[in-house]
Amino acid sequence: MMASSYNAKEEDGNPSSATVHGGAGTVKNKKPDNTAFKQQRLPAWQPILTAGTVLPAFFVIGLIFIPIGIGLFVTSNNIKEFEACLYSVYSKYSFSSLSTLQIDYTGVDLSSPCFNCSQNYIWNSTTPCTCSVPFSLDQPFESNVFMYYGLSNFYQNHRRYVKSRDDSQLNGDLSSLKNPSKECEPYRTSENKPIAPCGAIANSLFNDTLDLYYIDPNGSRTAIPLVKKGIAWWTDKHVKFRNPAGNNLTVVFQGTSKPVNWRKPVYELDPSDSDNNGFINEDFIVWMRTAALPTFRKLYRIIQKKPNNMSPTLPRGQYILDVTYNYPVRSFEGRKRMILSTISWMGGKNPFLGIAYITVGSVCFFLGIVLLIIHHKYGNRNNNADIPN
């Protein structure tokens, strides 16, 4: 005998006659609204998996995926990529049909041209070590050629690494320039001066210099023109990265210190071009966009197609890659590569996508057939509405 809740009834007078005799005479009746929503009768689309919908779906998906896959595969194959470690015999590196070239110049092997550089590495050494890697092209690169540097076993995606930057500072914020974010530790200050740009990412900026020379059949070297602008995202270049206000970068960065690993301060990254100097240096911007995986490549230079369509961008023949070897990777078993590649409508070489599409498409088609057979043999016996009541 418990009253589980106690509510105030209507004011005194005649409180319960209304409740006892229901709403016979009451004005407002409690009948719920007869709307489709409240009665859960909203018109609805109610799909069912039947042979009539599933089997065609499989066939259609198969028929769509296989051509896409073939298309992707062919496109990707046109951008054939060649992977090799270019450190031994010269002749080994002449390939017949080659539109992507990948050269590992880390210098692991004794016979590699860059072996000495990789061994004698000292940060801040004043005399840069250089090495030259020769190679040959049997097929010319016809269109624009993109030059990448690739790094392996380099953990740009490590949490402590990723967060070690100050986006405000890079966006030209003066107070952050003088007082960088704590995230930048231990590359926040050096010699009691704030580092600009601060943080581990900036500190580890890739600083090898790669140059490409064409060896004329007569033996003379012609430098290939490498375009260093247009390699960063437009939003990065124009919105995300900005130099602190001021006409003279040297003045602006006064009172800051260069990152400890750098040889020159940020305002000297490209003294020749004020639009590519300081924080908006494109090499720097590309580096600052951290890679998701420990093996990655980053765009370094673009070799533009010659204005006259007649001669290829990179004709067949002998080439030399000149490396100014600054960047140490051997300590952590990293690798460095130089990659030359052309590009198709779907980007760079990527056999995975084409193969995956073909596989999935075929499996779908096959599955469709199997399901069709199963359905025909066994499916119908249950189709009747033999529903026990």
Partner 1 sequence: HSFFPSCLLIEEERHVRANDRNYNDKFFYADNHIKTSKYNVFTFLPINLFEQFQRVANAYFLVLLILQLIPEISSLPWVTTTVPLVMVLVITAVKDATDDYFRYKSDQQVNNRQSQVLRGVLQNEKWMNVRVGDIIKLENNQFVAADILLLSSSEPYGLCYIETAELDGETNLKVRQALTVTSELGADILKLAEFNGEVICEAPNNKLDKFKGTLYWRGSKFPLDNEKMLLRGCVLRNTDWCFGMVIFAGLQTKLMQNCGRTTLKRTSIDKLMNTLVLWIFGFLVCMGVILAIGNTIWEQEVGRSFQVYLPWERPVSNNNAVFSGFLTFWSYIIILNTVVPISLYVSVEVIRLGHSYFINWDGKMYYGQKDTPAEARTTTLNEELGQVEFIFSDKTGTLTQNIMVFNKCSINGNTYGDVYDEFGHKVEVSERTACVDFSFNPLSDRKFTFHDSSLVEAIKMEEPSVQEFFRLLALCHTVMSEEKNEGDLLYQAQSPDEGALVSAARNFGFVFRSRTPETITLYEMGTAVTYQLLAILDFNNVRKRMSVIVRNPAGQTKLYCKGADTIIFDRLDPSNEDLMDTTSEHLNEFAGEGLRTLALAYKVLDRDFFEEWMTRLLLASTVMENREQRLADLYEEIETGLLLLGATAVEDKLQEGVPETIACLTLANIKIWVLTGDKLETAMNIGYSCNMLRDDMNEVFIISGHTAAEVQQQLRSAREHILGLSRVSNTADEEKTEMFSNDSVFEETIIAEYALIVNGHSLAHALEPELEQVLLETACLCKTVICCRVTPMQKAQVVELVKTNKMAVTLAIGDGANDVSMIRTAHIGVGISGQEGMQAVLASDYSFAQFRYLQRLLLVHGRWSYFRMCNFLFYFFYKNFAFTLVHFWFGFFCGFSAQTVYDQWFITLFNIVYTSLPVLAMGLFDQDVNEANSHRYPGLYRPGQLNLLFNKRQFFLCTLQGIVTSFLLFFVPYGAFSLGVRADGLHLSDQQSFAVTIATFYFICLFYCFCLRSCYCIGLDTYYWTAVNHLFVWGSLAVYFAILLAMQSDGLFSIFPSQFPYIGTARSCLAQWSVWLVILLTTAVCVLPGMAVRFLKTDLYPTLTDKVRRLQKASRKQGPREQNLRRVRRTSSRRSGYAFSHQQGYGELITSGKNMKVVHLHLAPSDKVRALCKQVRDGLAPTSEERAPF
Shortest distance in whole angstroms from residue 216 CB to partner 1: 27
Considering only residues 96 to 135 of the shown chain, the ones binding partner 1 according to CB under 8 A are none
Q: Is the CB of 74 or the CB of 239 nearer to partner 1?
A: 239
Residue 372 is a binding residue for partner 1 (CB under 8 A): no
The correct pick among 95, 128, 134, 173 for binding partner 1 (CB under 8 A) is: 173
Counting contacts by CB under 8 A, is residue 39 touching partner 1?
yes
Q: Does 13 bind partner 1 (CB under 8 A)?
A: yes
Residue with Cβ nearer partner 1 (269 or 297): 297
Rule CB under 8 A: is residue 256 a binding residue for partner 1? Answer: no
Between CA 33 and CA 36 the distance in angstroms is: 9
Of the pair 200, 318, the CB lying nearest partner 1 is at 200
The only residue of 27, 34, 219, 308 in contact with partner 1, by rule CB under 8 A: 34
Q: Which stretch binds partner 1 (CB under 8 A): 11-19, 90-98, 133-141, 318-326?
A: 11-19
Binding residue for partner 1, selected from 138, 273, 275, 333, defined by CB under 8 A: 333
Strand partners, 190: 193
**Residue range at the interface with partner 1 (CB under 8 A); choices 108-116, 212-220, 273-281, 338-346:** 338-346
Strand order of the β-sheet with 94-95 is 94-95, 129-137, 317-325, 209-215, 221-223
CA distance to 102, 104, 201, 253, 371, per residue, from 83 (Å): 5, 8, 28, 42, 42
Among 59, 82, 115, 155, binds partner 1 (CB under 8 A): 155
The DSSP letter of residue 129 is: E
Half-sphere exposure of 311 (CA within 13 A, CB side): 8
Footprint on residues 61-80 left by partner 1 (CB under 8 A):
61, 65, 68, 72
> In the range 179-208, which residues lie near partner 1 by CB under 8 A?
181-182, 186, 200, 203-204
Output the 3-class SS for 241-260.
Answer: CCCCCCCCHHHHCCCCECCC
Verify cis geometry, omega within 30 degrees of 0, for the bond prior to 197. yes
CA 118/CA 140 separation, integer angstroms: 31
Instruction: Give the 3-state DSSP-derived string for 259-280, with helices as H, strands as E and coil as C.
Output: CCCCCCCHHHCCCCCHHHCHHH
Omega into 244 within 30° of 0, i.e. cis? no
Q: Which of the ranges 37-45, 88-96, 103-111, 265-273 carries the binding residues for partner 1, by CB under 8 A? A: 37-45
Q: Assign 149 to helix, strand or coil.
A: strand
C-alpha–C-alpha distance, residues 48 and 227, integer Å:
58
Smallest distance, Å, CB 334 to partner 1?
A: 8
Considering the complex, what minimum distance in angstroms separates the CB of residue 194 from partner 1?
16
H-type helices in 164-248, by residue range? Answer: 167-170, 174-178, 200-203, 234-235
- 240 sits near partner 1 (criterion: CB under 8 A): yes
The least distance separating partner 1 from the CB of residue 147, rounded to whole angstroms, comes to 9
Shorter beta-carbon distance to partner 1: residue 5 or 220: 5
According to CB under 8 A, which one of 109, 348, 362, 369 is a site residue for partner 1?
348
